Amino acid sequence: MASIFSTISIDSIICDGSVYPRPQHDPHAIETYAAAMLRGDKFPPICVTGIRGRVYLVDGYHRLNAMMRCGMMETQAEVINCGTLEEAYEESVRRNAIHGLRFSLEDKRHIAKRLRNGGKKEDEIASLLRMTLHDFQRIVLGSIERATELAVSRRVGVPAPSVSPPDSAPDFTPIKNGETWMQPTGKMEYGQTERRSVLETRCDILKAIRDEPGSVSIPTHIMYRSNTSWTVLREHLVNLEALGLLKIGRQLAQEERRVYSLTDRGVACLSSYVDLKQKILGELEESTK
């Protein structure tokens, strides 16, 4: 898609759900970007499009809000030519799927519903979301495992996450010896297939942290204790933090190293899960005698 770069007034840019696919934002990312901008770090330009005399944001919601937080009046933007709001929406989905904050599962379902109502085929939607058709059908369109997880989560008292905040690596990874924040271009997909259910995996992660000396653990220890791959672990840590079950600290000797511990809510939910599981297993044993 052809584009030009131009200086745009921030006040003229419209953030609208008819074009931008994320229904929610992450305040932490905005604060992180704003602090980086005040330090003088450089960010990639946001992307906008002009339709019927109005300027719509296509990509860069958190960057734009960080600029507003810093009091900036103008910004460099990539201007693309989209003929309709629907074309702009599809381009926004395509760009947000390959970099920036990950789409949560609810984001993907919301996007899928809108695009299917607009006549898009499943393989076309999967391509926009940078997913295989199999994963799209299994994860986004729903599965028995997901339905079971939601039912058990409600019974335990832990709401299913609707937002996937970043792994607090912000949307852009800084070069180690520089100040320019680069956009990752790799494929970002929801977790790979797991033999355990999502609920079981998350509870194993909580147990791994609880059983660590001092009930504080670093990610590497959590990964091995819970028998979880690093890619899957990062996804679950983000969601568990969003649910208020985990809190993050820093090791004094190494300020950049994160440590995780359970919140009071996390301890209570894990205890409820263990009690409920033991009760269910006990009832099953009684019924087979």
pLDDT in tens, 143-162: 434 544 555 566 555 555 44
Query: Distance between CA 170 and CA 184 in Å, rounded?
Result: 11
Closest by Cα among 100, 104, 96 to 30: 100
- Give pLDDT, residue 58: 93
Name which residue leads in pLDDT, 196 or 134.
134
pLDDT in tens, 154-195: 655 555 544 333 333 344 444 333 444 444 443 333 333 335
pLDDT band at residue 137 under the 50/70/90 scheme: confident
Please give the helix or strand (H or E) that residue 237 lies within, else none: helix 230-242
Across 221-245, average pLDDT = 86
Query: Distance between CA 127 and CA 140 in Å, rounded?
Result: 13
Across 242-265, average pLDDT = 77
- Are the CB atoms for 208 and 200 separated by under 8 Å? no
Query: Distance between CA 132 and CA 193 in Å, rounded?
Result: 13
Per-residue pLDDT at 101 exceeds 60: yes
Over the chain, what is the mean pLDDT?
A: 77
CATH domain 3-149 topology: 3.90.1530
- Give pLDDT, residue 191: 36
Name which residue leads in pLDDT, 253 or 15.
15
CATH 1.10.10.10 fits 191-287, yes or no: yes
The structural domains of the chain, with segments of one domain joined by +, span: 3-149, 191-287
- DSSP SS3 for 182: strand
- Are the CB atoms for 58 and 92 separated by under 8 Å? yes
